[in-house]
A and B are shown apart, each in its own frame.
Chain A
């Protein structure tokens, strides 16, 4: 289990416990956290589960694999700390992760 904090665009903090092995996207969808659309369901094909990862965490979590950066080109207002939350797998190591959800996904 890991505690993940999702911060929505209006600065609301949503703290949830997410099971290991799920993705940060699934943690959001299962807990009804607003702002993560995940239209393609985790196939890295739509860029609507886009989040910003706090700098210190950004360097700590496993790096982007092929294809994620390409998909991020399509995301709404991508920044250097952008990630697709469907590609971040939850484990004990990321306990305490904070992600910011953009104002919209498209």
Chain B
């Protein structure tokens, strides 16, 4: 059980800046994120796309913004719990007891949800039958490539993950690569490699095809793929891999007793507190009259939620507003020399 003044759910830009604000006013905090890396949507959806409306930053990419925010946190010791999805939040005495899918638990007076549009989950195949084989012979990521050795693997997708695994697995497996159109969107060198391997008969390439059906009882036996012209092909296969990127799902947040409307959480605009005392929502996931889904709004919301956390984390102390330019205490926290 980890005790902390505040737990932040979500390591996107809003979560990161909220952590900064908490540390600045002398509270400790921990950050949980379902992704394997820091940055949230900025890293997962648009690492290379330029953003033009961050105050005082004329232009930066999602990745640059994330790196700058991480740098800004350098003076502080903040523990990140990545690859952890918060499953449960419940009241225990005066604190919130928070549990993740991997069994970590936290006790804290303050939970700040900075969860964007929820947690990122892999996009799945549309035929329902696919669920039956999920994590047995049908996967959306590769954990141990050794299991594929000498087997037939059918890979779906047209991006870097699909192409990279097609190239890699073609060394020791029989690989089918299936994509909905002729063009691929990965790195050009990898695309060239895939076409070369297809020419050499190392990869069986099926374009303009999509998954139609999976067959098998206990074990997967074959799949039907369907061409744009409705022609169906049956492929014998031992394993199926699908790489369609990630989608955001609200997930367990829906079960924590919060007021939720259209996938967003209602908050007040003084503390960004939800209908539950000590649970706040900031960034894209919160909703109030006039809400703008801008990164800069998330920063503002996080700064105010952090001040609200102080009251519950330090009930016997009085919060004093201070500027970073002049406060000795804040400079000490930042590890910078005073004047």
Contact = CB atoms under 8 A, between A and B. Distances in A.
Interface stretch (B31-39, B73-81, B88-96, B244-252): B244-252
B181 A69 contact: yes
Interface residues of B, number: 25
Interface in A26-66: 37, 39-41, 43, 45-46, 48
Contact of B46 (A43, A69, A79): A43
Interface stretch (A4-12, A70-78, A87-95): A70-78
Given A46-B45, A74-B123, A69 B247 contact: no
Contacts of A45: 41, 45-46, 49
Interface string A83-106: 000000000000000000000011
A73 B185 contact: yes
B228 A80 contact: yes
Contact of A40 (B45, B244, B263): B45
A69 B244 contact: no
Nearest to A39: B117
A37 B248 CA distance: 10
B126 A76 contact: yes
A106 B123 contact: yes
Nearest to A79: B228
A44 to B, nearest CB: 9
B180 A78 contact: yes
What does DSSP make chain B's interface, helix, strand, loop or mixed? loop
Nearest to A70: B185
Contacts of B41: 40, 45
A45 B46 CA distance: 7
Contacts of A37: 263
B183 interface: yes
A39 B248 contact: yes
A77 B126 contact: yes
Given A69-B183, A73-B157, A73-B159, A48 B244 contact: no
B199 interface: no
Contact of B45 (A43, A69, A77, A106): A43
A46 B49 CA distance: 14
Contacts of B159: 70, 73
Interface of B: 41, 45-46, 49, 117, 123-124, 126, 157-159, 179-181, 183, 185, 210, 228, 244-245, 247-249, 263, 293
25 contacts: A39-B247, A39-B248, A40-B45, A40-B117, A43-B46, A45-B41, A45-B45, A45-B49, A46-B45, A70-B158, A70-B159, A70-B185, A73-B157, A73-B158, A73-B185, A73-B245, A74-B123, A74-B245, A74-B247, A76-B123, A77-B210, A78-B180, A79-B228, A106-B124, A106-B247
